[in-house]
């Protein structure tokens, strides 16, 4: 038994509240600039549905990217007793000064684009993990088990959460849904791991699916979701392999990907620099995993 409430505070930073019989949790926090709205949304939902226990007990993180945990320090200020649960590798990442710097820089950038540019100060130490969850570890919210599943591919630290044998929070390793409803691939760390992660999630046969950056899917969308994730991932990989086999350099493959995949929807959802970094990483993992060497010369570098 659980209640699911979308408490997202702004564009690009999804956050969902789970209320069990005894405890509460959020899955991801959304971006830093969304914090005040997210906290307000959580407070209102807890006052309505959990008046005897208006507390946040757990924060489950799907991975360590800024758009999924940027609001964490502010949420921990509001609920200092909340325990942060994520993969051991996410804990490792959040101990690296460079990772914390990157999170801060990207959070500030998003605050300029989506808000007034003034990010309230926060302490980097708040970006931390209290409970490391391994594959199949369970935390119970009271008649509501939340199971972690290791689903690498987008990042090494990607976790999927399976709630009460009913609802699955896909990690970005499996894919994400655009606001227009299109399913996109976003493997960055490993194509092969991403495919294995999709199959692992599909095998659970969850009735309900929350897709990253979109929210709860309709029954019709959920019925074809894993297949669409697989098709998007395969198409992306095949496109890269085809270009590489026809002799394209890394930069030429990147340029071809730009024309094939970076459309108006994508532009709105991902700044070019982030798209370029992720796509280059995806190209490299595909070439490496399929044993193809592409020319790394910079001659065809797109001027953007
Ligand atoms: Zn991510």
- 48 Cα to the center of ligand 1, angstroms: 32
Measured on CA atoms in the order 272, 266, 175, 88, is the torsion positive or negative?
positive
> 212 alpha carbon to ligand 1 midpoint, in Å?
9
Residue for token pair 């799907």: 62
Compute the distance from residue 279 Cα to the ligand 1 centre, in Å.
13
CA distance 296 to 304: 19
pLDDT at 297: 57
Residues, Cβ < 5 Å to ion ligand 1: 65, 172
Query: Rounded mean pLDDT of the chain?
Result: 94
DSSP class of residue 290 equals T
Segment 217-244, tens digit of pLDDT? 999 999 999 999 999 999 999 999 999 9
- Contact 69/38 with Cβ under 8 angstroms? no
CA–centroid distance, 43 to ligand 1, in Å, is: 26
DSSP states of 196-214 as a string?
A: HHHHHHHHH--SEEEETTT
Ligand 1 geometric centre to CA of 188 (Å): 9
Residues 6+ apart with CB under 8 A from 183: 175, 176, 177, 211, 225, 228, 229, 231, 232
Total length of the chain: 304
Q: Which residues of the chain have pLDDT under 70?
A: 297-304
Contact 20, 2 (CB under 8 A): yes
How far is ligand 1, taken at its centre, from the CA of residue 38, in Å?
Answer: 19
pLDDT at 219: 96
CB atoms closer than 10 angstroms to residue 211: 26
pTM: 0.93
What is the distance in A from the centroid of ligand 1 to the CA of 65?
A: 5
The pLDDT value given to residue 266: 82
Please give the CATH number for the structural domain made up of 3-230.
3.60.15.10
Distance 69 CA to ligand 1 centre (A): 10
Whole-number Å distance, alpha carbon 64 to ligand 1 midpoint, is 7
Instruction: Output the CA 52–ligand 1 centroid distance in Å.
Output: 35
| Cα of 292 vs its chain's centroid, Å | 29
For residue 50, how far is its CA from the centre of ligand 1 (angstroms)? 31
17 Cβ neighbours under 8 A, 6+ residues apart: 4, 5, 6, 7, 24, 25, 26, 41, 42, 45, 46
**The pLDDT value given to residue 113:** 86
Over the stretch 91-118, which tens digit does the pLDDT of each residue have?
999 999 999 999 999 999 889 988 988 9
247 Cα to the center of ligand 1, angstroms: 30
Q: Please, where in the chain does CATH 3.60.15.10 lie?
A: 3-230
């Amino acid at each position: 038994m659980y209640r699911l409430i979308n408490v997202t505070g702004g564009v690009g930073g999804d956050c969902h509240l789970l209320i069990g019989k005894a405890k509460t949790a959020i899955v991801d926090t959304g971006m830093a600039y969304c914090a005040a709205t997210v906290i307000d949304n959580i407070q209102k939902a807890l006052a309505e549905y959990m008046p005897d226990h208006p507390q946040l007990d757990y924060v489950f993180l799907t991975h360590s990217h800024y758009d999924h945990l940027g609001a964490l320090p502010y949420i921990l200020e509001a609920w200092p007793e909340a325990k942060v649960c994520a993969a051991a590798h996410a804990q490792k990442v959040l101990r690296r000064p460079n990772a914390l710097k990157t999170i801060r820089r990207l959070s500030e950038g998003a605050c300029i684009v989506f808000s007034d540019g003034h990010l309230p100060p926060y302490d980097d130490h708040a970006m931390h993990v209290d409970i490391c969850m391994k594959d199949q570890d369970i935390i119970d919210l009271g008649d509501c088990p939340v199971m972690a599943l290791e689903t690498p591919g987008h990042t090494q630290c990607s976790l999927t959460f399976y709630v009460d044998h009913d609802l699955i929070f896909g990690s970005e390793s499996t894919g994400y849904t655009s606001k227009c409803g299109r399913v996109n691939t976003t493997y960055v760390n490993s194509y092969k791991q991403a495919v294995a992660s999709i199959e692992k999630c599909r095998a659970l046969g969850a009735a309900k699916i929350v897709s990253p950056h979109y929210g709860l899917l309709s029954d019709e969308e959920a019925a074809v979701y894993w297949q669409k994730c697989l098709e998007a991932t395969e198409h992306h990989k095949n496109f890269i392999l085809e270009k590489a086999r026809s002799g394209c350099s890394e930069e030429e493959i990147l340029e071809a990907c730009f024309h094939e995949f970076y459309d108006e929807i994508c532009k709105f959802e991902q700044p070019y620099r982030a798209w370029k970094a992720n796509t280059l990483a995806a190209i490299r993992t595909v070439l490496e995993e399929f044993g193809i060497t592409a020319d790394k010369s910079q001659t065809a570098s797109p001027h953007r």
